[in-house]
Amino acid sequence: MQILRRIVCLILFPRTELRQIAVEPASVDRLIRHYILPLSLLAPAATAIGMKTFDAAWDPLHGYTVPAEQIYAAAATTLFVSISSVFVLAGIFVVIAPMYGSRRHYPTALAAAAYGAVPVQVAGIALLVPSMIIVSMVALCHTLYLYYAAAAELLEVPADACTEFVGISMVILVVLSIAIGAAVSATGLI
């Protein structure tokens, strides 16, 4: 019940909850078991169910949006990307933190990345209906705010540099994602 309360508070009262998180010891094991893995499962499960249910009709112009035999592969890819992006973002936070006078501490950076991703991961439930992807886009705005607030509260980035810190982190994450995606695609894994 505490986990659900934390998720709701991160969405409704982010600064207050992040201040509470800042005084708690960061536990990588707890973050993985209670937040990263369970929340990362929401979008792939909803995607698979939604594609099986709502994307099953044949469109003469476009065919199937995702062929039936690729639905589970799409869900597995979504799960892998969701989990790995949290860990990669935490690594980016650790690497660029000293540029902003913050210390390098991976468990704290992982907490900032994991708790910041909560709105997008919870919004993954909306993918039961594929056309509801707009909910994820709105949640992305809240996630960016949570990263901003977590940079100040957890990573102790100066308030006037939080926007730049998050912006640079997101650009690096996008560039790494494109590079890794291109490399994986070139090898034929996806």
At residue 62, the pLDDT reads: 58
The rounded percent of the chain whose pLDDT value lies above 90 is 63
At residue 65, does pLDDT exceed 70? no
* Residue pLDDT, tens place only, 91-113: 999 999 999 999 899 999 999 99
Which residues 6+ apart lie within 8 Å of 155 measured at CB?
93, 97, 102, 108, 109, 112, 165
pLDDT band with cut points at 50, 70 and 90 for residue 55: low
pTM tops 0.75: yes
